Amino acid sequence: MKFLLLKNMEKHKGNKPYQCPECLKCFTEKGSLVKHMRVHTGDKPFHCSECLKCFTEKGNLMKHMRVHTGDKPFHCSECLKCFTQKGSLVTHMRVHTGDKPFQCSKCLKCFIEKGSLVKHMRVHTRDKPFQCSECLKCFTQKSSLVTHMQIHTGKKTFQCSECLKCFSQKGSLVTHMRVHTGNKTFQCSECLKYFSQKGSLVTHMRVHTGDKPFQCSECHKCFTEKGNLVKHMRVHTRDKPFQCSECLKCFTQKDHLVTHMQIHTGIKPFQCSECLKCFTQKGSLVTHMQVHTGDKPFQCSECLKCFTQKDNLVTHMQIHTGDKTFQC
């Protein structure tokens, strides 16, 4: 009894007679020093009987066991959600109270959890501690690395319930679902057109602003989208990555291959509303419609004669230029 009294008195006095020989940290109790020493020795004497995970303290083992038992003794008085640890409940309660005790010293943004603040600070420090072992790309958060790794593994865990298309990221699935739901939440302030993705709206806005941020390094032609620049570069590189499986003809763009394949399949999806004649290409239908409308948009600058097709105008111009392209 006298020992406990003396021990309690030490706490009140603030005396810490037990010092760690490694880091010189001091403790009021010998038991606390013994536990602390395991930080330096790496000793974890408390083993989980289920998954064999080890812990430095018995209390941490007891908390961990709730993962296996499913025991959640800590209840939120607001929403009745349950937690395995008291600390998790304390953190959760801030959702209801609005308390954000962890503040960024740079931009003063506040957070509910310390871990969230630590992650946020990397925005300012530009620290990217998580590196991909395949391509060496670095990330600020572990979750971002995990998502990125699916590019290399080919794993697509998020599946659309409508068309069964799979995605590597949940956000990509959420965006895709708008195709089925018709949800278009992003509106252009200029023409009031709606878009399902914010990125599509940003790209569309360049139609109004005239901004073309993607420039060709060869001919300096500019484009509103990066994808259009990539396609254009094939003019210079002469790269034709899309090959027909029937005749092995190659194309610079996928849509050109799709159109070409209709020659082999015989599919003619574009039908004239006047005579019901069908065409493989939309452009061919547009040209054909001029037969019915009488429209001749291509005019000779010399004699003012008009033509339905540009090719016919080019051929006609040879009468004026004297050019004789075809030799016997």
Per-residue burial over 79-117, b if 16 or more Cβ lie within 10 Å, else e, is eeeebbeeebbebbeeeeeeeeebeeeeeeeebbeeeeb
pLDDT of residue 1: 53
* Tokens, residue 275: 């005579």
Angle at 269 between CA 266 and CA 274, to 5 degrees: 115
- 103 domain residue, yes or no: no
Read off the CATH number of the domain in which 64 is found: 3.30.160.60
Assign 225 to helix, strand or coil: coil
* Tokens, residue 49: 């009987």
Average pLDDT of every residue of the chain:
88
> In this predicted model, what pLDDT tens digit does every residue of 121-154 receive, in sequence order?
998 999 999 999 989 999 988 888 988 888 888 8
d(CA 170, CA 193): 26
- 207 domain residue, yes or no: no
Could you tell me the pLDDT band of residue 179, with boundaries at 50, 70 and 90? confident
How would you write 21-84 as a 3-class SS string?
A: CCCCCEECCHHHHHHHHHHHHCCCCEECCCCCCEECCHHHHHHHHHHHHCCCCEECCCCCCEEC
- 275 domain residue, yes or no: no
- 33 domain residue, yes or no: yes
Contact 104, 126 (CB under 8 A): no
CA 286 to chain centre: 39
- Start-end of H helices in the chain: 2-13, 30-41, 58-69, 86-97, 114-125, 142-153, 170-181, 198-209, 226-237, 254-265, 282-293, 310-321
Contact 208, 224 (CB under 8 A): no
Could you tell me the pLDDT band of residue 189, with boundaries at 50, 70 and 90? very high
* Tokens, residue 88: 């998790």
* Tokens, residue 64: 């961990």
Average confidence (pLDDT) over 260-279: 89
Residues with Cβ within 8 Å of residue 37, at least 6 apart in sequence: 20, 22, 43
pLDDT of residue 9: 55
Please state, in angstroms and as integers, the Cα–Cα distance from residue 240 to each residue in 28, 225, 248, 257, 258, following that order: 75, 20, 11, 10, 14
Q: Which domain holds residue 61?
A: 16-69
What letter represents residue 312's amino acid? N
Q: How many C-beta atoms surround the C-beta of residue 184 within 10 A?
A: 14
Answer yes or no: is pLDDT of 4 > 90: no
Answer yes or no: is pLDDT of 42 > 70: yes
- 325 domain residue, yes or no: no
Residue 197 DSSP code: S
pLDDT of residue 100: 94
Answer yes or no: is pLDDT of 8 > 90: no
Could you tell me the pLDDT band of residue 26, with boundaries at 50, 70 and 90? very high
Answer yes or no: is pLDDT of 110 > 90: yes
- 97 domain residue, yes or no: no
> Comparing C-alpha atoms, which of 157, 194, 160 is closest to residue 175?
160
pLDDT of residue 12: 55
Average confidence (pLDDT) over 7-11: 55
pLDDT of residue 184: 86
pLDDT of residue 212: 93
When computed from its CA atoms, the radius of gyration of the chain, rounded to whole angstroms, is 35
Average confidence (pLDDT) over 224-252: 92
Domain count, the chain: 1
Could you tell me the pLDDT band of residue 82, with boundaries at 50, 70 and 90? very high
Residues of the chain with pLDDT > 70, as a percent, come to: 94
- 49 domain residue, yes or no: yes
Rounded to two decimals, the pTM is 0.41
pLDDT of residue 326: 63
- 79 domain residue, yes or no: no
d(CA 83, CA 169): 28
